[in-house]
Amino acid sequence: MTIVGHDANCALCGAAGTTIELPRRTIARGLDPEDAAFSIIAVLPDLELCDLHAEELGHGEFVLGWCDDEQCRCFGRSGEASGCGTPYKALKH
């Protein structure tokens, strides 16, 4: 776990946080609807976590997830319901 920045807000609780190196930075969004030979890869934004949540993630107390619904596109705990009702998908391999 490498801390690469500061002065941001935790993605989970909104407290002051630091930028965390993601386990992976891209997710597959499926095939390009206009050209099935191409798949669409989305690059995830930076993740900020407070000290508590960064430590919990480092200890494996939860798995980082991402909801790729257009309304959400945000980080959360894998398996928990996101704002649109779909559970966050785990970012770990």
Interface contacts to Zn ion, rule CB under 5 A = 10, 12-13, 15, 50, 53, 67, 69, 72, 82, 84, 86
Tokens of 69: 């619904």
Report how far residue 42's alpha carbon sits from residue 52's, in angstroms, rounded to the nearest whole number.
Answer: 28
Shortest Cβ 81–Zn ion spacing (Å): 8
Residue appearing with tokens 């690469």: 4
Report how far residue 47's alpha carbon sits from residue 22's, in angstroms, rounded to the nearest whole number.
Answer: 7
Closer Cβ to Zn ion, 72 or 90, answer by number: 72
Shortest Cβ 33–Zn ion spacing (Å): 20
Closer Cβ to Zn ion, 32 or 69, answer by number: 69
Shortest Cβ 48–Zn ion spacing (Å): 9
Tokens of 26: 């891209």
